[in-house]
Amino acid sequence: MNNIDVKSINLADNEFWKNADREAAFATLRADLPVSWHEFPAGTPESGQKGFWAVTRYDDVVAVSSDSKLFINGEGTIMGDQSVEEAHQEGWFLNMDATQHFKLRQVVARAFSPQGVTKMTQAAQNYAQKIVAAVKERGECDYAREVAQPFPVEVVCDFLGAPQENRRRLHELTVTALAGDVLGADAPRAIAAAFAEMNDYGKQLAKEKRKNLGDDILSQIITTQVEGRSLSDEEAGYFFQLLVTAGMETTGTVGGHSMKCFLEFPEQMQVWANDPQGVGATGFEELVRWITPVMHMRRTATQDTEIAGQAIKAGEKVVMWYNSANRDESKFVNPNIFDVRRNPNPHLGFGGGGRHTCLGAHLARLELPFLVAETLKQMKNIEPAGEPVLVPSRFVNGLASMPIRFTAA
């Protein structure tokens, strides 16, 4: 057991994410104070706002996530306060509750079903092959920046119907929107500006598409009726922004961190390289458990209640820590061992269940194994060529840089 003073842990503090031994701190919280209160310190973007409850055990995360009447999304899903208007502009139907949420999610639900995403199989395979091949002959690259991040950008943009020339910009905006909390005092302005630019871009694209419909998600969004009416360009823009934000950075993070994992656990890389078909599915789920690209989501209590014996008041913010649930000793055998064949693997990397479960999970499951398989096919003798650079965000477990060298196969 470690000797961390549980009272010294502040998950709202950016400093915690820069320095702390996260796993040890979360293990302490799960053991000693599974539902704990955190205040925003001076210097954080939310300084002056009321703090939040942190839920760190697996079963409690599932309980909160599953009760969408008691714990709602409509007042925002980030740890800071948001007006309802801001919450819609910066998360669209993720930040809504039944029945509004259900009706809007339905517009794209079939396209993102296991069957719907198979349409992207060939494109995902081709992009994986091409993106790895583009760096192969150099024998070195920044795997996070040059391979892992561009890959889902291409796949998601093809799926949505976003033209080639704006993809790099959309990715930059996504990084600011999701990991902008690392910017400190400038964060609120930068994050709001990134969301606004994406919303506006989506709105303009929707307007263009009305003149020239394609076989893509945005065309589907603007031609689907919701409650007997078409969605406006502005609403289509919010849809577009949510899907871009949710779909790029998350999957890129899994790709980048997959390399970090392989370098830390070379025998697991070998297992995957020897049998990419057989290991792809379980390996992907284990990467999502281990990395937990989206570390938390928040809900708001609608009435006085309790979680694991801790009283919670109506209106208080409750933040579910998926990264902690994914290492919960009561749920996973040897949670601190990275095992690409782990099965069963009931991780909460796509959320703790309930109505808001990740819409894009099947797309991520389809695309990412192609990238790993191509990497391990085209690159041999992979070794680090510098230190990985983590993004010290409180929200996403980002990886900004992962320099490697290798021999081309």
Shortest approach of ligand HEM to residue 93 CB, angstroms? 6
Question: Which residue, 180 or 247, has its beta carbon nearer to ligand HEM?
Answer: 247
Q: Contact at 8 Å (CB) between 256 and 148?
A: yes
Backbone angles phi, psi at 348, to 5 degrees: -110, 25
Mark the segment that binds ligand HEM (CB under 6 A) among 187-195, 308-316, 334-342, 353-361. 353-361
Q: Verify binding: residue 293, ligand HEM, rule CB under 6 A.
A: yes
Closest by CA position to 45, among listed 88, 87, 95, 81: 81
State both tokens at 218: 């945005």
Q: Verify binding: residue 254, ligand HEM, rule CB under 6 A.
A: yes
Shortest approach of ligand HEM to residue 351 CB, angstroms? 3
Binding mask 187-226 toward ligand HEM (x if CB under 6 A, else -) reads: ----------------------------------------
Closest by CA position to 10, among listed 33, 30, 40: 40
Q: Verify binding: residue 294, ligand HEM, rule CB under 6 A.
A: yes
Residue 188 neighbours by CB under 8 Å, 6+ apart: 45
For the CA atoms of the chain, what is the radius of gyration? Answer: 21
Mark the segment that binds ligand HEM (CB under 6 A) among 142-150, 266-274, 275-283, 344-352. 344-352
Question: Which residue, 184 or 346, has its beta carbon nearer to ligand HEM?
Answer: 346
Question: Which residue, 62 or 141, has its beta carbon nearer to ligand HEM?
Answer: 62
- Helix intervals (H) in 139-275: 150-160, 167-179, 187-211, 217-223, 233-264, 266-274
Q: Contact at 8 Å (CB) between 41 and 47?
A: yes
Alpha-carbon distance values, 248 to 149, 156, 245 (Å): 8, 7, 6
Question: Which residue, 191 or 319, has its beta carbon nearer to ligand HEM?
Answer: 319
Q: Verify binding: residue 357, ligand HEM, rule CB under 6 A.
A: yes
Alpha-carbon distance values, 194 to 89, 252, 386 (Å): 11, 18, 30
Q: Contact at 8 Å (CB) between 344 and 317?
A: no
Q: Contact at 8 Å (CB) between 151 and 372?
A: no
- Helix intervals (H) in 224-294: 233-264, 266-274, 276-291
Question: Which residue, 53 or 406, has its beta carbon nearer to ligand HEM?
Answer: 53
Number of residues that bind ligand HEM (CB under 6 A): 29
Burial of 281 (0-12, 13-18, 19+ CB in 10 A): middle
Q: Contact at 8 Å (CB) between 238 and 88?
A: yes
State which of residues 25, 194, 231, 288 lies at the interface with ligand HEM (CB under 6 A): 288
Binding mask 118-137 toward ligand HEM (x if CB under 6 A, else -) reads: --------------------
Question: Which residue, 109 or 409, has its beta carbon nearer to ligand HEM?
Answer: 109
Question: Which residue, 4 or 347, has its beta carbon nearer to ligand HEM?
Answer: 347
State both tokens at 53: 């409850």
Question: Which residue, 4 or 363, has its beta carbon nearer to ligand HEM?
Answer: 363
Q: Contact at 8 Å (CB) between 370 and 317?
A: no
Q: Verify binding: residue 350, ligand HEM, rule CB under 6 A.
A: yes
Q: Verify binding: residue 162, ligand HEM, rule CB under 6 A.
A: no
State which of residues 29, 54, 94, 391 lies at the interface with ligand HEM (CB under 6 A): 94
Binding mask 74-93 toward ligand HEM (x if CB under 6 A, else -) reads: -------------------x
Q: What is the number of the residue whose Cβ is closest to ligand HEM?
A: 360
State which of residues 131, 364, 391, 402 lies at the interface with ligand HEM (CB under 6 A): 364
Report the DSSP pairing between strands 317-321 and 52-55.
parallel
Residue 197 neighbours by CB under 8 Å, 6+ apart: 173
State which of residues 297, 312, 318, 319 lies at the interface with ligand HEM (CB under 6 A): 297
Q: Verify binding: residue 307, ligand HEM, rule CB under 6 A.
A: no
Chain residues in the site for ligand HEM (CB under 6 A): 65, 93-94, 105, 156, 242-243, 246-247, 250-251, 254, 288, 293-294, 297, 322, 349-352, 354, 356-360, 363-364
